[in-house]
Structures are given as structure tokens and as C-alpha cells.
Structure 1
Amino acid sequence: MNALDALPVVVIGAGPVGLAAAAHLHERGLPFTVLEAGDTAGAAVRQWGHVRLFSPWRYDVDAAARRLLDQAGWVAPDPDALPTGAELAADYLQPLADLPQLRPRLRYGVRVEAISRLGLDRLRTAGRDATPFLIRLADGEELLARAVIDASGTWRTPNVLGASGLPARGEDTAGDHLEHALPDVLGADRDRFAGRHTLVVGAGHSAATTLLSLADLAAEAPGTQVTWAIRAASATRTYGGGDADALPARGALGSRLRAHVDAGRVRLLTGFSVHALRPADGRVDVVVRRADGGEGSLVVDRIVAATGFRPDHSIAAELRLDLDPVMGATRALAPLIDPNEHSCGTVPPHGVDELSHPEAGYHAVGMKSYGRAPTFLMATGYEQVRSVVAALAGDWAAARDVQLDLPETGVCSSDPADPAGGDSCCGTAAPAAKGLATGIVPLNLITIGAAPVTAQTGGCCGG
């Protein structure tokens, strides 16, 4: 063993994928350290603890983690039950993190500020692959590592509300009215929404989850109004595959939302892009720019920006990364996960080869590996880290034997920009005439003061 091999593998993040990496590293006998910015395992998951996953437990537990937990006498949940985020953290992630094989290797409350090579900047090539990684923490401490597995996720870097990938004018000062994905509408955050008009912007499952909670709240709290805005011409992609979805809870999510729209309990606005947010006597005026250059506006009390997430690669600025210019994923992975071509269930198997950069030994995994693609599922991340850890152990046969069995969505296209003209091959969009009778308002029928908005891609596979 050379000096580099004696150093630990540093895992960034103690969420589901980061802890799965730790379990695989333990099984392979590789030294490791897990760095978590939060004060507990699954800190980001706990922030959406009130949300129930549509993936049952059978898809939510990593195989290596399960083997470690079983040895400790863990009582596994019902494989067909759907956990909430809080249950995922309390019943799986925390017991895993507390195992004696992992607990001494976990450090909480530490934030990674930068990653480089010891004594080398990005320009230097000679001896690079044999030089340890240097991980600088926010408090100034520096660690050395033989490899880095970045499972830090994207929860802290949501997409902006405005269209064109840019913040809407006034978005940075609208914090009193603006929420990001998955507020606890029926619980801790109820008072912010009850009796108020809320605009939800986004076309993914996070948006759908919030809309369903708001519809339930509207049935209980008089004066509660719910408006949903998307940039596309149809909500077919959000409605999903219904009964054709291999995950019944995922199919039911879209079906329930469609029923609320059809009944007028949720007002759907299509074809909108948020241009600006302006104060309006204690409320917020949402200025919308239409495709024809015209503008409209809608005054609401609260806005939920369920517009998805994007990766922050700034900590790796001194590493040699090869990122696809569109997805922000590795160049090899990007075409396999492009949401213009793939839904959650049609992503092909991928592992260390697709996750590798010119910087040998650095791998971003989990949500961060997908860049801006919203089609990630936890099971995908578990297979990623199994493959990466096998490669770090020198077992290239296992590393390249990647297998991924994902449940089909029942949706054949998930194009966020133009979902087959509003249709998928698994269903057709409601015609405009029906839309007017059921609370769907197309762009060309909105006038100034009526009700406009935007939508960027939300998470296809939410949670």
C-alpha cells in the first residue's frame, strides 16, 4: 500500500446516498470520513420530513446499508409502506449513522469550503494523480484524502423563480412572500397559507405535493385560494402516468391533482413566465411576460417556487471537471438522464465510468451528479456509489457490472419545455375548451390583472 492509499476516502454529505457510500466503503475495508454540514444524519431530508415519498421502503434502503443494519438486529419497515421524510431519517438514516462501524467516521457541523490537490492548482499536471486531495473546511481546518465522493446534493441551491434561468426582477427582495419547495402547509407553516392566496410555480412532483396540501387546506380554512402556474401549454407531464405508473403513489399524485384542477379547486395557468415581483400593499404583484411580448400581472399573498434545483460545483473549482454545458452533469452521463428524452423510469444503468472526471478520484454522486436533470431516484444513487466504491477498491469487474431496475412512470416523455405539444404517448392533454370549464387558463386568454405566472422544471421524481 502506498502513502496515498493509506488516506481515507472523504464523503461529503450524510444523506441517503452519502451514508450508502459509507456502508460500501466499510464493506470494502477502505478507510473513510463522512463530512456533514448539518447536526444530524439526513439533515436535508428532515427539512421535508412532512412529505411522504412515493417510493416504498423496498426502493429506499441501500443493499450494503441493509446488511450492516441487519447484523445489528434492525427491524426493517414494511417494504411496501411509503415513508415520510421524517420516517426515512428516523427509522433508517439515523440508525445507520449510529452503527459502531460508521459512527466514529462521521463528523457533523462541518462545511466543505473547497477541494484541491495538495500543493497543486488546476494548472499543474505532473504527479497529479498520485497527490492527495486537500479538503478545506469553513473553519480553516484542512484534511487529506485519497479520493472524494461528493454526495452533498442540491437542496441548498434551488432554481430561481424567474424564466430564462435568471432571477425575476425583485426576486432577491421578495423573501417575505417567497417560499422554496415543499413548505409544511398543513403543519408548521399552516398560518402562512391559511386564508391567503398562494401561487405555486413549477411542473414537478414537488409542486404537485404542495398543491395537494393547499387544496386540503382550502377545504378547511375559508378564504384560502390556490393558483398553479406552469410555463408549458399543458400539465400532462405533471399528471403523469396514472394507473400505468409502476409506483401507485406517484401515479395517484397526478391523478388527484388533475381532479382538483378539473373541479376548480386549483386554478391552473399555462404558458407563463415570471418577469418581476413588486410589493403591493403587503402582498406581492407577480408580473408575467407572455411569449408575444405582452405582460400581465397577478397579486397574491405567497409564492411557492417549486422550480427544481441546480448543483453548485464551486467547491471543486480547482479540480479538473468535465461538465456537460447543458445538464451540469458529467459529459458521459448527461445524455442518459436528459429530461427531454428520459423520465424517472427510463434512465439506463450507469456507474463509475459515466461519473468520472479528468480529475481521477473525484466523483459527484446522487442528486448532484444529475446536474439540473430532475429525474433522480434514490435507488439510482445507491447503484452509483456501489460502482464507485468498487472501483476505488480496484474491483473493476464489479464496478462496471451496473444494474438499475427503476419503476416505470407510465409517461413516455418528460420534456419540460414542450411535452410533445402537451401530450405524452400515454395520454392526451385536455383541449382548450375543456380547460376553460375546469379552471385551466391558457396564455392567450389572460389579460392584465387576470392571472399569469411561470414555470420551470420541478423534480420529476421529487423527494
Structure 2
Amino acid sequence: MTVAIIGAGPYGLSIAAHLRSLGIPYRIFGTPVDTWAQHMPAGMFLKSDGFASSLSDPDGKGTLENYCTDRGVPYHPTIRPVPVELFVDYARAFQERFVPDLEERQVVSLDKVGDVYTLILDDGETLNADQVVLAVGITHFGLVPPQLAGLRPDLMSHSSDHHDMERWAGRHVAVIGGGSSAIDLAVFLKEAGTHVTLVVRAERLRFASPPSDRVRSRWERMKAPSSGLGPGWKSWVCENLPQFFRFLPGDLRTTIVRRHLGPAAGWPMKGRLEDGVDILLGTSIEQASEEDGRVRLTLRRADGTRTELLVDHVAAATGYLPDVERLRFLSRPLRAAVRTHNDAPMVDGAFQTSVDGLYIVGPGAADSFGPLMRFMVGAEFVAPTVAKRLARRARRTQPARPVTTA
């Protein structure tokens, strides 16, 4: 049996590390932690605490804490936020240690004929595999409001398109959204010398509680147990009982994924946001149009009044929507064969889709396994679960053979 892993983020690298330890032949394709290195604002902090920001290896030696200890980098499991640059350096070191055979090439086409998957890479190589793991990141699923969809790319972007903010200095950018991505983007644009207007549909902004080194009482821990997703029983259940989540009614699953741990930014961003960012609360977009190379936004306030805003660019920090149809490198028949719920792929207890041998992990599996799939700590559950299923299938199809060139 042969395995191809598409995607080299935390989930893809973790699965590869587990397969390698089990002696299962695989090939993994992608740029290591590209989403974090190129599609997050430089200087941001991870939403996850340090203890919940590690990739997964079988022996538990490749943690962020061990990486920081070995290199003398300041670390704390809860109090000290994790800069994205530190996480990227750590994840790349993890890849070099546990997944040294990563191929930094992109899969541009995936199809299945009979029992065999055919992959075409960006350099033209064609290869076959028996099993495929899609560990693609959130950049495939960026959601843009329909009011903005008609604007040219130079006038409108998604928050995942932004990493270096310097090119926006001296310009006026409207950031749409009120969650962590929107607030981070607004802050870093402002600090790069951009005039920023944050347009928020909600009546108020939410921020995480400030970190504290106070020891919580037993009653506090019972009332709101800690987890990698944050304190509280809902978060604890989502992290520790993900298999239970699959058996909830479909619409309830969708609601929980959408609402649980909603649009709350990190505590360090609160003061930075209030220092120089224009904020329009209770305001939604009615229309957007081009005007002399700029964008005119027609906005509607909660009381029904309308106002207009003329900006140089609009950045939609409006979240992500897992949708099989957005995975355009999958052939049309393959996309059509994947069973979905509200357009999101449905997977079984080992993350296999309705197409035999095709697995989807990470954000794409959130409708089946819940909010855990949106967080790094989910790799600790996903990687061994998928690797064990693939290992069992490999033992049934011995002798194993390497991924073959077609």
C-alpha cells in the first residue's frame, strides 16, 4: 500500500511523522507551514497557548516546549503568547527532524480511476498512490461576502492574502470583520503606517481574558476545566471526546462549529487596536463599487441609517468555509463523489471520506469532528488516528511498495 499526503502544515507533518515511525511508505508534498509563514500577519501571536501549540510525534519529544528549552527561548505553557515567527521556526525544525523526506512541490491535480489515485505535481511529474490524505490548510476556504465578490483583486483581498503590511503604508484600507483575524490585520496595518477603518457587524468586540499565573482553585477547575481550546466544559468535551461529536445531529454540529470559540481576539491586541484604528461597530456592508481606482462602500448601521466610505482597498477578514468545491485541484468526479453536509466533507472515525482511500483532516473535517479541527492541538488526536488506520490497511496489503511514478 502506498500513501500520498498533500499538505505540509501541522496536521500533514504530524501524520507523516507517525507513518515514518511505523515504517509505512509515504510521500508528502507541500511547503512547510506555508499558511503560518506566508498567510498570517508578521508579528502576530498564536491564538493557542504554548502547551497547545505543538505538532505531534509518536514519542512526544518534538514539542514546542522542548524546542524552546533546547534553544534557550523564553516559553510558558499559558502566560507567554507564542509569536508566529517562533512557531514557524519550531515547525520547520520539527519537519527537518521527523519528516526529512518532505518534497516541497505542489499537487496541482488529483483524480481516481478504479482503485488508484493519480497525482500531477507542479513540475509535471505524475505518480500513483493507493491512499491519499488531504491535509490542506485554511487558505483554500477563505470566505468573501457577496457584496465584495465583484471587486478586482487589486481592490479587494482576503485576510489570508496578507503577511507583509509595509506595502499598504500611507493608504486607506477597510478591514471587514470583528474576529481575531480582522483585529490582528487592522492592528498590523495601522502599525505599518496604514489608515485603517475596521467595519464590524457586531455591536461590540470580544477579547480573550488576560493571562494569569494565579493558581485556580479546585472549584474553578471543576467549573471550567482547562483544555487546549480554552477553559470550560464545552471546550474540554470538544478536545477530549471528538469521536462523540460525529454522532450529533448535523445542523447542531454546524452550529457548534460556527459559534463555539467565536470571534474573540487575543488579549494583547486590545490596547493596540484602540490606539489609532477607526472602528465602526454595528455596521454591515450593503454595496461595494469601484470609483476612480478606489472602492466606495455603502454601509448600513444597526439603526438603519446609511453612510459611505471611500477607501483604497478592502480586506475581508470574514472567516473560512470548508467546502469540497473549493478544492479545485480535485477532479470534478472526485469532488462529486465526496459525501458532504452543508458543503463540508463528511468523514468516518479515522477521517476517511465516502471515497475509499481518501482522507481529509484539519479544518476540512470540522463538520465531523468539531472545533478541535481548527486548532493545533487537534494534531495530537488526528495523527495517531489516521496513521493507525493506514498501518492496518498496509498490513493487509503486504508486501508494501513505494509510491510509483506513472
TM-score by length of 2: 0.68
Deviation string, structure 1 residues 250-304 (Cα, Å, up to 9, x no partner): 977258538955x885322324134223124x53212346799986421122322
State how 1:203-218 maps to structure 2 within 5 Å.
Answer: 203-216=178-191
1:42 and 1:94 in contact (8 A); partners too? yes
Deviation string, structure 1 residues 12-71 (Cα, Å, up to 9, x no partner): 0111111001011112221111011x4xx222221124322132332121331664648x
What amino acid maps onto 1:266 in structure 2?
D
Task: Give 1:386's aligned residue.
Answer: 384
Match of 2:309 among 278, 283, 298: 298
State how 1:134-149 maps to structure 2 within 5 Å.
Answer: 134-149=118-133
Task: Give 1:12's aligned residue.
Answer: 6
Q: Indicate the percent of aligned positions where both proteins have the same amino acid.
A: 24
Deviation string, structure 1 residues 350-375 (Cα, Å, up to 9, x no partner): xx517332212211111232379987
CA change 1:103–1:10 in 2 (3 A) is same
CA change 1:202–1:385 in 2 (3 A) is same
Task: Give 1:103's aligned residue.
Answer: 100
State how 1:280-429 maps to structure 2 within 5 Å.
Answer: 280=292, 282-288=293-299, 296-311=307-322, 312-314=326-328, 315=330, 317-319=332-334, 320-326=337-343, 328-330=344-346, 353=349, 355-370=351-366, 376-394=374-392
1:179 and 1:304 in contact (8 A); partners too? yes
Secondary structure of the residue aligned to 2:87 is helix
1:168 and 1:275 in contact (8 A); partners too? no
2:105 and 2:122 in contact (8 A); partners too? no
Deviation string, structure 1 residues 217-261 (Cα, Å, up to 9, x no partner): 5xxx5xx543211234x235x43566799669x977258538955
Deviation string, structure 1 residues 377-409 (Cα, Å, up to 9, x no partner): 1112441232111122229xxxxxxxxxxxxxx
Aligned mates of 1:260, 1:289 — CA distance in 2: 23
Match of 1:197 among 168, 172, 180: 172
State how 1:38-77 maps to structure 2 within 5 Å.
Answer: 38=31, 41-47=32-38, 48=40, 49-64=42-57, 67=60, 69=62, 75=70
Unaligned segments of structure 2, at least 5 residues: 212-223, 232-262, 394-406
Deviation string, structure 1 residues 170-193 (Cα, Å, up to 9, x no partner): x1x2x33334316768xx423513
Number of equivalences: 329
1:9 and 1:147 in contact (8 A); partners too? yes
Match of 2:149 among 168, 190, 201: 168
Aligned mates of 2:183, 2:385 — CA distance in 1: 33
Secondary structure of the residue aligned to 1:155 is helix
CA change 1:323–1:294 in 2 (3 A) is farther
Secondary structure of the residue aligned to 2:139 is coil
Task: Give 2:207's aligned residue.
Answer: 239
Match of 2:23 among 29, 32, 43: 29
Question: Does 2:282 align with 1:270?
Answer: yes
TM-score by length of 1: 0.61
Task: Give 2:158's aligned residue.
Answer: 180
What amino acid maps onto 2:116 in structure 1?
P
Secondary structure of the residue aligned to 2:392 is coil
Task: Give 2:243's aligned residue.
Answer: none
Unaligned segments of structure 1, at least 5 residues: 121-130, 333-351, 396-463
Aligned mates of 2:332, 2:270 — CA distance in 1: 42
2:17 and 2:57 in contact (8 A); partners too? yes
Aligned mates of 1:265, 1:291 — CA distance in 2: 20
Aligned mates of 2:100, 2:12 — CA distance in 1: 13
CA change 1:295–1:138 in 2 (3 A) is farther
Task: Give 2:398's aligned residue.
Answer: none
State how 1:439-450 maps to structure 2 within 5 Å.
Answer: none
Aligned mates of 2:29, 2:382 — CA distance in 1: 19
1:322 and 1:357 in contact (8 A); partners too? yes
Aligned mates of 1:371, 1:277 — CA distance in 2: 34
What amino acid maps onto 2:168 in structure 1?
R
2:142 and 2:321 in contact (8 A); partners too? yes
Secondary structure of the residue aligned to 2:338 is coil
1:273 and 1:290 in contact (8 A); partners too? no
2:180 and 2:265 in contact (8 A); partners too? no
Aligned mates of 1:206, 1:111 — CA distance in 2: 27
Q: Which of the pair is proportionally richer in strand?
A: 2
CA change 1:287–1:161 in 2 (3 A) is same
Secondary structure of the residue aligned to 1:207 is helix
Aligned mates of 2:8, 2:134 — CA distance in 1: 10
What amino acid maps onto 1:111 in structure 2?
V
CA change 1:329–1:270 in 2 (3 A) is farther
Aligned mates of 2:265, 2:342 — CA distance in 1: 35
What amino acid maps onto 2:166 in structure 1?
R
CA change 1:365–1:22 in 2 (3 A) is same
